[in-house]
Amino acid sequence: MARSITYREAINEAIAQEMARDERVIVMGEDNAGGAGSPGEDDAWGGVLGVTKGLYGKFPGRVLDTPISESAFVGAAVGAATGGLRPVVELMFIDFLGVCFDQIFNQAAKFRYMFGGKAVTPVVVRTMWGAGLRAAAQHSQSLLSVVTHIPGLKVVAPSNPYDAKGLLIQAIRDDDPVIFAEHKMLYDVSGDVPEESYAIPFGEANIVREGSNGHADVTIVAIGRMVNTALEAADELASSGIQVEIIDPRTTSPLDTDTILESVENTGRLVVVDESNPRCSLATDIAALAAQEVFGSLRAPIQQVTGPHTPVPFADSLEDLFIPDTTRVAAAVKTVVDHVG
């Protein structure tokens, strides 16, 4: 039965249900319990934003605090995955890829191919991404394109609580290494989530808004938090008679290219909304895909709505300018609609 819970609670519930179902699932990360070696409570934090709170008591010995040694403990999760466990390791911020990337992209991602198909590395790296928390340049990035680029990794970016639970359950059950990217601005967003366990397959995009009566003028592909921004823009645009179909890929690797291309073939217009930096990004990737595969269907140049080619700034006045908003999305949609070919 569904009830309304937050994105944070949905993630916690997914981990708890999988830990109860499969004793091979363990959790590790900085302050994931939050009390190791301290005189106070053992489960003091439950992760820096409380996502893993309560798991420590429910699953004794299976929620491990780590030192601030991302290379060692992310690598340990990878090694444990080759040894029969199914670790869910938390990389507190995706920005911290910089201190442990080797273990992810040179080790975990490559084992299966490099070892001739004999390795199975079922590790999930949960990590917080995205701008909006005034966390500045080293705690706000959207490095999904960096991990999506790597063969051997799967990359998941849920945009709502329902998807967060179902995709995380799939990630834990999946036999490949998965980067599970949780947008920090979505943790307190609520939505209907079934109590029972369910898995959402990877590589299946969600059409979160269809046009009107089977008709849409424009396809928007939006990633993560930008799905909500696109939805708000679509409401405004509908009042001026422009119908938008919004596709949330949910996983950027694998990417559901069929759903995206089919929609673009129908609408003839594409806007990609991604809060990351613009170069070599998911936006350029998806735009190039459509340009190559359905060029003949396009009625206007593809528009990309992204952050600028800058680090994420601190000052709220600047960060708000960095992050794509409904005005910019709506303007891009109007540009493609108004294009005269």
Partner 1 sequence: MTGTLTQAPAAELTPDALLDAYRTMRTIRDFEERVHEEFATGDIPGFVHLYAGEEASATGVCSHLDLRDAIASTHRGHGHCIAKGVDVMGMMAEIFGKLTGSCRGKGGSMHIADLSKGMLGANGIVGGGPPLICGRALASKLKGDGGVAVAFFGDGASNQGTTLESLNLASIWNLPAIFVAENNGYAEATSSTWSVATDDIADRAAAFGMPGVIVDGFDFFAVHEAAGEAVARAREGGGPTLIEVKFTRYFGHFEGDQQLYRADEVRNARENLDCLKVFRARVTGSGQLTDDQLDQVDQEVATAIAASVVAAKAAPKPGADDLLTDVYVSYQ
For residue 47, how far is the Cα from the chain centroid? 18
Tell me: does residue 116 bind partner 1 (CB under 8 A).
yes
- Does position 64 interact with partner 1 (CB under 8 A)? The reply is yes
Query: Under the phi-then-psi rule, with left for phi > 0, alpha for psi from -120 to 50, and beta for the rest, what region is 135?
Result: alpha
Rule CB under 8 A: choose which of 51, 85, 220, 282 binds partner 1. 85
Supply the minimum distance, in Å, between the C-beta of residue 10 and partner 1.
23
Span 215-274, contacts to partner 1 by CB under 8 A: 254
Nearer to partner 1, 152 or 268 (CB): 152
Angle in degrees, 0-180, between the axes of helices 226-239 and 326-338, rounded to the nearest 10: 60
Count of residues touching partner 1 (by CB under 8 A)? 48
Contact 236, 254 (CB under 8 A): no
Nearest approach, Cβ of 201 to partner 1 (angstroms)? 7
60 near partner 1, judged by CB under 8 A: no
- 40 Cβ partners below 8 Å, 6+ apart? none
CA distances (Å), origin 37, targets 57, 66, 91: 16, 11, 21
CA dist 166 and 14 (Å) reads: 7
Residue 166 Cβ vs partner 1, minimum distance, rounded to whole Å: 16
Hey, what amino acid is at 304? Q
Q: CA-based diameter of the chain, in Å? A: 70
For partner 1, the closer of residues 2 and 120 by Cβ is: 120
Applying CB under 8 A, does 107 fall inside the site for partner 1? yes
Stretch that binds partner 1, among 69-77, 133-141, 225-233, 289-297 (CB under 8 A): 69-77
Task: Tell me how far apart the alpha carbons of residues 133 and 317 are, in angstroms, rounded to a whole number.
Answer: 12
| DSSP bridge pairs for 272 | 221, 304
> Quick one: which of 114, 137, 288, 318 contacts partner 1 (CB under 8 A)?
114
Task: Write out the DSSP string of 26-41.
Answer: EEEETTSS--TT-SS-
- Nearest distance in Å: CB 265, partner 1: 21
**Minimum CB–partner distance for residue 179 and partner 1 (Å):** 13
| 79 makes contact with partner 1 (CB under 8 A) | yes
Q: Which of residues 186-205 bind partner 1 (CB under 8 A)?
A: 201-204
Kindly list the catalytic residues. Answer: 139
Q: Can you give the binding site for partner 1, defined by CB under 8 A?
A: 26, 61-62, 64, 66-67, 69, 71-85, 87, 102-103, 106-107, 111-120, 151-152, 154, 174-176, 201-204, 254
